[in-house]
Structure 1
Amino acid sequence: MSHSTDGRSLRIVFAGTPDFAAESLQALLDSRHRVVAVYTQPDRPAGRGRKLTPSPVKQLALTHALPVCQPTSLKTAEAQQELAAFEADVMVVVAYGLLLPQAVLDLPRLGCLNVHASLLPRWRGAAPIQRAIEAGDAESGITLMQMDAGLDTGDMLLVRHTPIETTTTGGTLHDTLAALGGETLIAGLDALSETGLTATPQPADGVTYASKLSKAEAELDFLEPAAALARRVRAFNPWPVAWTRLDGDSVRLWLAEAEADTAQAATPPGTLLAPAEDALRIACGSEGREVLRVTRLQLPGGKPLAARDLLNAKPSRLGAGARLGQPATLEGPTGESA
């Protein structure tokens, strides 16, 4: 299939669903390229009323009067005929959530491009942003990839890097990469429409998989080192949010860091130590000789607050000697919002 372009403006079918993808769609709408249709997941129940709610990508598409398609699968002949009718030069896929069969990958003149939130081949899969923080990676980034039938296995067209700081959370890295994803996408499409892009196969070494996040794994085990716990707290903010138990209630931990240079005597892991002015201090590590400093947390029925404020409001509840945590359980915290 061949389409003529003026070498400047490409006809784009965009496929994406969450906020992360909406950033790339907005970048396309602000560019010289033309979005001729938008594909997104079917509306899902959301909020307390479980009302059917359009995805962020659909909401943005509708405000720009773009055609919106929401098939449950792209494997049917009907869905593929509908897609072919848009005569796209390229299909851009960002956190769409549906598998693209080979017949769909072959439809656009220039194939299908994917904006992926990691430095491939590291962190293929569902949760690359959070897994990079949790693992202690020094950097993350965006890979613009030519899609093939595998899971994030296609050739790399463009890569952009961004550092992961000791204060980076899942939320802040998400926002940084969403913006960087839009910039990288436009740079790639501009090059593609003019001089073309060189495709580089992913290295065979260094492949890792970013498994989907679960609420169960967000329960902290204070036998782990303080640095690992602090990374998990930051990675799981704002979802699923790290948590532990206090007197049978769930306490959610939003921000934490490992205390440097502690000369902490062996203490049962999970014990609350004498607090700092602005942080809860929790004994952790295999012998309880390390300290996790929690600077933002949430008690049952309350809002997330700075530790300083909670220590002032409820000093007895959070006093030294109290024990946090129990043996790991699959039961999630109560009253949480997904």
Structure 2
Amino acid sequence: MRIVFMGTPEFAVPSLKLLIETGYEIVSVVTQPDRPKGRKKTLTPPPVKEAALSLGLNVLQPEKMRNAESVAAIAELAPDLIVTAAYGQILPKALLDIPRLGCINVHGSLLPKYRGGAPIQRSIMNGESSTGVTIMYMAEGLDTGDMISSVELPILDEDTSGTMFEKLSLAGATLLGETLPQIIEGRAIATPQNNDEATYAPNLSREDERLDWNKSARELFNQVRGLSPMAGAFTQLGDEVFKVWACQVSGEVSGRSNEAEPGTIIEASNNGIVVQTGKGALVLTNIQPAGKRVMDAAEWIKGARIEAGTRFRAGGLQ
């Protein structure tokens, strides 16, 4: 068994390590190119590259996998199987046709729900009570291939995208280990997806991070935890962007909890910043004012002397 593994973020690392620990031959690891990261724009390798190098594996980093040169480089490796996990590029048919056992993908949702690049974040932001991992044969469409196996996990109120990424990455690696023997031995049962039930999870945009205080406290709570700890949600205080990293629902009722307009600070205390929403109140507990570090809301309140009645605006997009 000659396997080419393709992945980029931390989500894919447990699956790569599982393949090595199980004794499969990884002839090469394909990942995205190093990218500038942080305020200093330091060129940083993706987590899969770091893991692959630590395991002594060969690494390829094509800018575009659809190029003929990139496809040819994979063909020269003569893989029996290609395994992908959050690689980040759509693979061309010429590449999918190379391995005799096909190409499989470890996808972070219960397909056909949440096809696309941000299934974990979107599941949380949409208030889903569960999600999972699906292992599927890859096809030319966006996550449209036949399903082989899946596992379901609950989404708890205390979960964020960060915690669910970790849980699903480990669950995906375990599922991969259970599924590979079925594929290799020809026992895998491929089930076509019901396209009528398909939903999509496009990559997040800056607009997805903006808090609309007319929404309910529960919707905003889901939005904040779905964006944490990667991007964070934001609103606007005066003329400055004000980021929210963690919050809690407080006093959610059928209508507004008082006469204040959505976005109005009802209370600022050691418990956090209580903000009126379109339905109920939201308690901001972990925040980041413009130009400052991430901190507990109670810590910021001591120095900022924020007053009840101050109003957050819908976040600007600068």
Normalised to the residue count of structure 2, the TM-score between the two structures is: 0.93
Choose which of 290, 296, 299 in structure 1 pairs with 2:280: 290
Unaligned residue ranges in structure 1 (runs of 5+): 1-9, 332-338
Q: What secondary structure does 2:32 align onto?
A: coil
2:127 aligned partner: 136
2:242 aligned partner: 251
* Most deviating of 115-124 and 23-32: 23-32
CA distance in 1, matches of 2:55, 2:311: 54
**Counterpart AA for 1:181:** G
Matched, 1:68 2:63: no
Instruction: Please list the CA deviations of residues 78-100 of structure 1 after superposition, one character each: whole Å capped at 9, or x if unmatched.
Output: 33332122221210011112221
Instruction: Please list the CA deviations of residues 151-188 of structure 1 after superposition, one character each: whole Å capped at 9, or x if unmatched.
Output: 00000111011101112111111111111121111111
**Counterpart AA for 1:250:** V
CA distance in 2, matches of 1:67, 1:74: 17
C-alpha displacement of 1:22? 1.9
C-alpha displacement of 1:232? 0.5
C-alpha displacement of 1:195? 5.5
CA distance in 1, matches of 2:300, 2:71: 56
Runs of at least 4 residues off by over 4 Å: none
1:15 aligned partner: 6
Whether contact under 8 Å (1:216, 1:329) holds in the other structure is no
1:37-48 to 2 correspondences below 5 Å: 37-48=28-39
Instruction: Please list the CA deviations of residues 2-59 of structure 1 after superposition, one character each: whole Å capped at 9, or x if unmatched.
Output: xxxxxxxx32100111111222212212112121111111222223443332221111
1:310 aligned partner: 300
* Most deviating of 31-40 and 65-74: 65-74
**Counterpart AA for 2:311:** R
1:153 aligned partner: 144
Normalised to the residue count of structure 1, the TM-score between the two structures is: 0.88
Q: Percent identity?
A: 39
CA distance in 2, matches of 1:143, 1:149: 17
Choose which of 85, 95, 102 in structure 2 pairs with 1:104: 95
Choose which of 262, 266, 283 in structure 1 pairs with 2:259: 266
Q: What secondary structure does 1:30 align onto?
A: helix
CA distance in 2, matches of 1:208, 1:189: 27
CA distance in 1, matches of 2:206, 2:60: 31
The change in CA–CA distance for 1:265 and 1:49 in structure 2 (over 3 A counts) is closer
CA distance in 1, matches of 2:310, 2:284: 15
CA distance in 2, matches of 1:102, 1:172: 34
Q: How many residues are treated as equivalent by the alignment?
A: 316
CA distance in 2, matches of 1:27, 1:48: 34
**Counterpart AA for 1:225:** S
Choose which of 83, 95, 116 in structure 2 pairs with 1:92: 83
C-alpha displacement of 1:102? 1.1
Whether contact under 8 Å (2:235, 2:242) holds in the other structure is yes
The change in CA–CA distance for 1:48 and 1:322 in structure 2 (over 3 A counts) is closer
* Most deviating of 187-196 and 62-71: 187-196
Unaligned residue ranges in structure 2 (runs of 5+): none
Whether contact under 8 Å (2:241, 2:316) holds in the other structure is no
RMSD across aligned positions (CA): 1.9
Choose which of 224, 230, 233 in structure 1 pairs with 2:221: 230
